[in-house]
């Protein structure tokens, strides 16, 4: 039978790994909701939201990328022990993929500013 402290350490390790795997896609999900929600709300207003929408989405993308970069630095594979190296590399890969998704979503929302379809 395993010692209770060992079980608690195993639970913490699983919780940390799960949090690291989910954090990057969660940041992207929040930015995605912000980008398309802001687009819909600004298109509902009278007038042309062009520059305001562009600046809002660029600022949101910058904040999202800064958060993703901070998370990647915090769980960098070089700092991990041998048994946790796979977990940190996989989490960093998910963070990198989320950063690409933030850039892709921001580019689409910035370059497609027409509100004709929503009005």
pLDDT, one tens digit per residue, over 50-81 is 778 888 888 999 999 999 999 988 887 665 56
Structural domain includes residue 100: yes
Structural domain includes residue 119: no
Structural domain includes residue 41: yes
Report the predicted TM-score, pTM, of the whole model to 2 decimal places. 0.80
Structural domain includes residue 116: no
The reported pLDDT for the residue numbered 88 is 83
Structural domain includes residue 117: no
Range of the domain at 13: 4-111
Structural domain includes residue 11: yes
Kindly state the tokens that stand for 98: 């989320």
Structural domain includes residue 43: yes
How does DSSP assign 2-58, residue by residue?
--HHHHHHHHHHHHHHHHHHHHHHHHHHHHHHHHHHHHHHHHHSSS--HHHHHHHHH
| Total domains, the chain | 1
Structural domain includes residue 66: yes
Quote the CA–CA distance of 9 and 24 in Å, as a whole number: 24
């Amino acid at each position: 039978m395993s010692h209770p402290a060992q079980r608690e350490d195993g639970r913490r390790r699983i919780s940390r790994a799960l949090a690291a795997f989910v954090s990057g896609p969660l940041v992207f999900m929040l930015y995605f909701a912000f980008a398309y929600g802001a687009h819909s709300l600004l298109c509902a207003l009278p007038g042309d939201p062009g520059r305001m929408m562009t600046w809002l989405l660029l600022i949101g993308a910058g904040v999202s990328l800064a958060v993703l970069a901070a998370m990647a630095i915090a769980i960098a594979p070089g700092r991990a022990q041998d048994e946790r190296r796979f977990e940190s590399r996989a989490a960093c890969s998910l963070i990198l993929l989320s950063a690409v998704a933030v850039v892709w979503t921001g580019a689409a929302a910035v370059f497609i500013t027409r509100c004709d379809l929503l009005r």
